[in-house]
Chains A and B, each alone.
Chain A
C-alpha cells in the first residue's frame, strides 16, 4: 500500500501530464465553442446572421444589443422585466433556503418516530415532474385569489425546490462531526442555539452552493414563470426575451444578443461565488 503523500504525488504527476493538459484544453474548447459562436453571432448584422455561419463573420455591429435593450413587450420595457426577474428570484431563493435549513436540521439531529420514512418521502417527491402539477396548482391559486400577483410564482418555486434543498442540506449536516452537537448539548444549548451558534457557520458553503443552484434555476426558468407569473406586470426577463423573436419569428436574429443580456447577472453571481459552489457541491454529495 502506498502512503497518502506518495499517492497524491502520483496523482499530481498524472494530472499534470501533457496528455491530460491537452485533453483538458480540447474539452474546454469544445465546451465553450457554441457559446463563443453565440457571442460572435450577437454582434453580426441581421442580414449576415440570416445568410451565413458565425465563423465567416467579417462585419460587426452593436445594433442587436440596442434593439434588445430598447425592446418592449406588451408595452412594458425590458428594465421592468429585469426588475420582475429580481423580484421573483430573491424570495424564490431565500424562502426554500430558510425552510429547508430548519427541516434538514430536524431530520438530521432531532430523533423522532418515522423520521427516516419522512425523509425518504420528501426525497421521493423529486420524482414528480413539475409539468403535471401546473394546472392543478393554478386552480388552487385562482381559488385563493392569488392570480395576477407574485405569490403563485414565489410559492411554486419554493415548493418545487424543497425536496432537493432538504436532501442536500440534510446530507451536509449529517456529515458534520456528531461530537460538535453533543458537546453543545452537554453545555446546555437548546436546538435553536445549536443551530444558530454551532451549525450555521459551518453550513455557509452548502447554503451558498444551493443558493447559486436555485438562483440559476429560477433566473433561467421560463415554464413556471409563463404559467404562474402570467400578466404583463409580473413577466420576468425570460418571457420578455422569448417574445423578442416576433409573432412569426421574423426577428429571431435578436435572440443571440438577448441570450447574452440575460446571462449577465447570473454570470456575475456565479463568478463571484464559484469557490463556494464547488466546495459546497462536494461537501453535500459525499458523506464524510
Chain B
C-alpha cells in the first residue's frame, strides 16, 4: 500500500515525542547526581531508606502544587524516600474510586473532616502511628485535633489552613472616600448603608461554582451563626443536636438575607439580586477593581483570584478585613483546612506522614511558597517568615488568643446536607425562596 501523508506526520510526531522523553529522562538523572547530606540534621529522626516510594494524592493542582513538591525536596534528599505527588481536579470522586477499586494512594489530602470520618467507617483508613499522634498533640490546638480524631483514635494530621471570615475591599477607595474598616456587625451595616446612599451597590456576591453552586451561601450563614448565637450553638447546629431550622439558624439566615437579598446592597457591577446565583464565585470580587462595588466576603484563598499586577496589601488596591463580630467581647473565626490520611503503614509512609505533621515541614512549606497563599495552624510555624500580607493577617487571626476558631460547618455535616441540600436550597433561597421553606427543606434532608 501507498504510504500516506498522515502516517508520515504521525511518525514525525512520534519521533519528536520520543526525543522529548529522552530529554526528560536525561534531566532527571542530572538532578539525582546533585545529592548530599548537608543540612540533614533535622531529618535524622526519620531514618534512611533505599529505593522506597510514597505516593501522595490530593486535589492540589498548579500553581499550588509546585510549592508542595518543593517543600519535601530536603526530606527526599536526606531520607532517600521518593515522594510521588499527584494533584488532580477530580480528586474528590477519583479518590473514592481508587479506594473502592483496591488501589488507594499511600497518603491522601482531604479538605473535609466529615469525609475522614466516613473513610474510617469503611475501614480503609489506617490509624496514625504514634509518631504522628505525638506531633498532632504537640503542634495543633484541641479543636484541630478533634477533626482528625474518630472514636477516640487519631486517623491523620492537619496540614494547611485558611481563614474564611474575610471581607475584601480596596484600601485606596476607603481612603479616598473616607470609609473606615468596621469593627462590629452594626458598623458593617452602617457602612453598607452609607455606600448605598452614595448611589453605589456596596456588595458584590457570586455563588456560582459548577455543581457546587451555592457553597458561598453556606459560608455566609455559618459566619452569621457564629456571630449571632455563639460557638456553642454553632457546634450544636453542625452536629444536629439542635434542629437545622431552629430559631438560631433562622436568625442567622435572615441576617444574611439583609445583605444578599437586599436590592440596595447587591450586586455591584454584576446586576440585580438574581445575579448573585448566576455569577461565578471566582469572578464575583473583581468589580471592586473597577470601583463598581466596595465589599466582597470570601476566604483568604481568594487572594489567588486577583489578576496579576494587582497590589494586595494594607494600603494597596486590594486587601481584606476580618468579618466583624457582634461586639468586641468575642472574635469567632470561620475557617477550613486540609488533613492527611494514610492508607498504608509501610515504614517509609509512616516516616513521611510524621514529617508532614512536624514543624519542620510547616516551615519548609512557608519557605517554598515565596509568593504566599499558604498557612498552617501548626503552632510550630514561624509566622514571622510569612511574606504575603494576607497570609500574615490570616496567621495573626488564627494565633490571636481571643480568636475562637470553628471549622466550616458544611464540610463537617453529612454529605447529603453539607455538599447537597445546603448548597441547592441556599441557591433557591437567593433566587426568592423564603427562609422558612429553605431551612425546613434542609432539615428534611438530614439523614435520620
Contact = CB atoms under 8 A, between A and B. Distances in A.
B416 interface: no
Given A74-B87, A227-B94, A269-B6, A249 B209 contact: yes
A231 B84 contact: yes
A147 B307 contact: no
Main secondary structure of the interface of A (DSSP, over half): helix
Given A139-B101, A245-B89, A248-B282, A272 B6 contact: yes
A41 to B, nearest CB: 14
B61 A142 contact: no
B62 interface: yes
A268 B66 CA distance: 33
B62 A83 contact: no
Contacts of B21: 80, 83
A250 B98 contact: no
Nearest to B27: A77
Contacts of B9: 268, 272
A273 B6 contact: yes
Contacts of B10: 269
Contacts of B59: 247
A143 interface: yes
B409 to A, nearest CB: 19
Interface residues of A, number: 46
Contacts of A135: 97, 100-101
A19 B75 CA distance: 72
A252 interface: yes
B5 A272 contact: yes
Given A243-B62, A247-B59, A247-B64, A86 B90 contact: no
Contacts of A273: 6
Given A232-B86, A243-B89, A248-B282, A74 B65 contact: yes
Interface string A228-261: 0011100000010011111111111000000000
A82 B17 contact: yes
Given A231-B84, A242-B90, A243-B62, A249 B282 contact: yes
Contacts of A251: 62-63
Interface in B75-100: 84-90, 94, 97-98, 100
B307 to A, nearest CB: 5
A50 B5 CA distance: 41
Interface in B1-25: 1, 4-6, 9-10, 13-14, 17-18, 20-21, 24
B103 A147 contact: yes
A242 B100 contact: no
A273 B6 CA distance: 7
A220 interface: no
A72 to B, nearest CB: 6
A73 B305 contact: no
A239 B1 CA distance: 36
A138 interface: yes
Contacts of B283: 50-51
Interface in B21-61: 21, 24, 55, 59-61
B286 interface: yes
B88 A243 contact: yes
A248 B65 contact: no
B69 interface: yes
Q: Chain B interface residue count: which class?
A: 35 or more
Given A86-B14, A86-B17, A143 B102 contact: yes
B53 to A, nearest CB: 10
Contacts of A242: 88-90
A134 interface: yes
Contacts of A73: 61-62, 65, 87
A262 interface: no
A79 interface: yes
A231 B86 contact: yes
> Which residue of A72, A83, A142 has the most chain B CB atoms within 10 A of its CB atom?
A83
Contacts of A142: 101-103
B101 A138 contact: yes
B17 A250 contact: no
Given A86-B17, A230-B94, A268-B9, A72 B87 contact: no
Nearest to A71: B62
Contact of B307 (A47, A71, A75): A47
B304 interface: yes
A242 B210 CA distance: 14
A226 interface: yes
Nearest to B66: A72
A121 interface: no
Contact of A77 (B4, B24, B102): B24
Contacts of A268: 6, 9
Contacts of A272: 4-6, 9
Interface string A27-63: 0000000000000000000110011000000000000
7 nearest A-B residue pairs (beta carbon):
A138-B101, A243-B61, A272-B6, A250-B304, A142-B102, A83-B17, A79-B20
Interface of B: 1, 4-6, 9-10, 13-14, 17-18, 20-21, 24, 55, 59-66, 69, 84-90, 94, 97-98, 100-103, 209-210, 280, 282-283, 286, 301, 304-305, 307-308
Given A247-B64, A252-B282, 17 more contacts: A46-B307, A47-B286, A73-B62, A73-B87, A79-B17, A82-B20, A86-B13, A135-B101, A138-B97, A226-B88, A227-B94, A230-B86, A243-B61, A248-B304, A249-B210, A268-B9, A272-B9
Interface of A: 46-47, 50-51, 71-75, 77, 79-80, 82-83, 86, 134-135, 138-139, 141-143, 147, 204, 226-227, 230-232, 239, 242-252, 265, 268-269, 272-273
10 contacts: A47-B286, A83-B17, A141-B103, A232-B85, A245-B89, A246-B304, A249-B280, A250-B305, A268-B9, A272-B5
